[in-house]
């Protein structure tokens, strides 16, 4: 199948040689907390530990290293909300090429600072990445600079494919590979690298359900643009698949599955808590798919963690969501009688069940309350869904109305 595509296994192997000494060949890490769910090997490919915090340096460097001397003098331009920006900026810095990166005004501050830290000139354009891309291309036309696409280029795909090459080298017995997917460069390159060596390996792409362009595109047989995207996984929020990745994915990828926002939050929480690895929402998509339905995947399984560049403020919000979804963080609104000792008794009962109260808010002015009632919002730490149910049942047994917030 490789002859019909602009990228071959040999191209990926040549990219690997080009990247030698430039990238960190990230070694697979055993994930015992996931293995116990299927009774077989599950290993993580930690590209969150890669230089610049994601796999993007692979494709960016592979493309920039093949530019002519004349094109290098012109400088390079990219448009990105974060990871591609950092990958291009670092690759350009290593090769002595001037880089300019267009970012949407909503780009996170840590990603902007990191991109500048790699020597790029950052320009802000538009509210979304599509608007930044338009500005970047206009800048290229005016300046003569070379535009570096995030995924739709044969050298980019070949560079990203070295992830799949490393997985197969380190784990030749692998049966299933789960790959985070946005525009498709990482999935396409990795699938080609693996399938050309063993077609029996199942390669699965994972997208955020609220930004999943591939399912519909594959159904229609061509890249189709999404009209709306709304996900915390900004790193894989791509509205339309790239032409080159799409063709490869059609032939080499077994399945595309999607994960919810709560799935992503749980995956980030568990990967940090159990795996001791910090990943961003897009980088957690593959592990989110495994956690959501572990029995669906034949082991040994390799799971790609594609990036770890996350804004600490977003991480805080995601941690709260993940804890709540996992039954570890509960906020409940309780209507109680406005009588001395009622609140004290309620708190004693909750504490007696082992729940750790974090915050209490007392409300008297809600028009829905009876004259002899008050509302209390209580936020507490719990030990899981069953513990949550025990707490809620006890509150109701005391005669109080309780509503989870």
* Distances 78 to 120, 133, 266 between C-alpha atoms, Å: 10, 8, 32
Please say which residue of 295, 322, 349 terminates a domain: 322
Q: Order of strands across the sheet with 121-124?
A: 121-124, 99-103, 76-79, 146-147
Residues of the chain with pLDDT below 50 are none
Task: Tell me the two tokens of residue 2.
Answer: 């490789």
Look at residues 298, 322, 346 and tell me which one is the last residue of a structural domain. Answer: 322
Residues 118, 93 within the same domain: yes
pLDDT of residue 1: 61
Domain that holds residue 107: 56-151
| Cβ contact 337:82 at 8 Å | no
- If asked whether residues 168 and 290 sit together in one domain, one would say yes
Q: Are residues 159 and 264 in the same domain?
A: yes
In a shared domain, residues 174 and 121: no
- What 3-state class would DSSP assign to 119? coil
CA distance 58 to 156: 8
pLDDT at 148: 96
Write down the pLDDT at residue 389: 86
* 175 and 230 within one domain: yes
Residues 60 and 125 in one domain: yes
Structure-token match 């996350």, residue found: 310
Whichever domain contains 251, its CATH number is: 3.40.50.1100
The answer to whether 71 and 101 have CB atoms below 8 angstroms apart is no
Query: What's the token pair of residue 109?
Result: 């501050």
47 and 62: one domain?
no
SS3 content of the chain, % helix, strand, coil (to 5): 45, 20, 35
Do residues 316 and 349 both lie within one domain? Answer: no
Tell which phi-psi region holds residue 31, choosing left (phi > 0), alpha (psi between -120 and 50) or beta: beta
Residues 75 and 204 in one domain: no
Number of structural domains the chain divides into: 3
Please name which of 221, 158, 227, 213 lies closest in space to residue 183, comparing C-alpha atoms: 213
Distance CA 310, CA 361 (A): 31
The per-residue pLDDT for 271 is 94
The residue ranges of DSSP E strands in 6-120, in sequence order, are 29-30, 42-46, 76-79, 99-103
CATH number for position 336:
3.30.70.260
Same domain, 334 and 371: yes
d(Cα 52, Cα 231) in Å, to the nearest integer? Answer: 23
Residues facing 208 on adjacent strands: 259
User: Which of residues 123, 151, 179 is at a domain's end?
Assistant: 151
Question: How many angstroms separate the CA atoms of 227 and 234, rounded?
Answer: 16
């Amino acid at each position: 199948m490789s002859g019909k595509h602009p990228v071959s296994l040999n191209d990926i192997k040549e990219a690997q040689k080009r990247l030698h000494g430039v990238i960190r060949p990230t070694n697979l890490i055993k994930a015992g907390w996931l293995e116990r769910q299927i009774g077989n090997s599950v290993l993580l490919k930690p590209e969150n530990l890669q230089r610049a915090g994601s796999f993007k340096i692979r494709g960016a460097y592979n493309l920039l290293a093949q530019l002519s001397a004349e094109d290098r003098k012109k400088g390079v331009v990219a448009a990105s909300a974060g990871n591609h920006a950092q990958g291009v900026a670092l690759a350009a810095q290593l090769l002595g090429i001037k880089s300019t990166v267009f970012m949407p005004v909503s780009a996170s501050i840590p990603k902007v600072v990191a991109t500048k830290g790699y020597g790029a000139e950052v320009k802000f354009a538009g509210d979304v990445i599509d608007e930044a891309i338009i500005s970047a291309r206009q800048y290229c036309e005016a300046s003569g600079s070379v535009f570096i696409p995030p995924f739709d280029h044969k050298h980019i795909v070949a560079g990203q494919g070295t992830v799949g090459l490393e997985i197969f080298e380190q784990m030749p017995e692998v049966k299933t590979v789960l790959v985070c997917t946005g525009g498709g460069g990482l999935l396409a390159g990795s699938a080609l690298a693996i399938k050309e060596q063993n077609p029996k390996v199942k390669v699965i792409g994972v997208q955020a359900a609220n930004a999943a362009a591939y399912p519909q595109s594959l159904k229609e047989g061509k890249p189709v643009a999404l009209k709306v995207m709304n996900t915390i996984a900004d790193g894989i929020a791509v509205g339309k698949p790239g032409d080159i990745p799409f063709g490869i994915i059609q032939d080499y990828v077994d399945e595309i599955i999607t994960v919810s926002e709560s799935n992503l939050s749980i995956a980030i929480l568990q990967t940090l808590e159990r795996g001791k690895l910090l990943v961003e929402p897009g980088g957690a998509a593959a592990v989110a798919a495994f956690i959501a339905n572990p029995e669906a995947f034949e082991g040994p399984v390799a799971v790609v963690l594609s990036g770890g560049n996350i804004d600490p403020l977003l991480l805080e919000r995601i941690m709260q969501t993940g804890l709540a979804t996992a039954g570890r963080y509960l906020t409940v609104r309780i209507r109680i009688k406005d009588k001395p000792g009622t609140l004290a008794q309620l708190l004693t009962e909750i504490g007696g069940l082992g729940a750790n109260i974090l915050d209490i808010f007392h409300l008297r002015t809600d028009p829905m309350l009876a004259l002899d009632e008050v509302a209390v919002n209580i936020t507490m730490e719990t030990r899981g869904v069953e513990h949550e149910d025990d707490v809620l049942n006890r509150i109701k047994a005391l005669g109080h109305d309780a509503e989870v917030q």
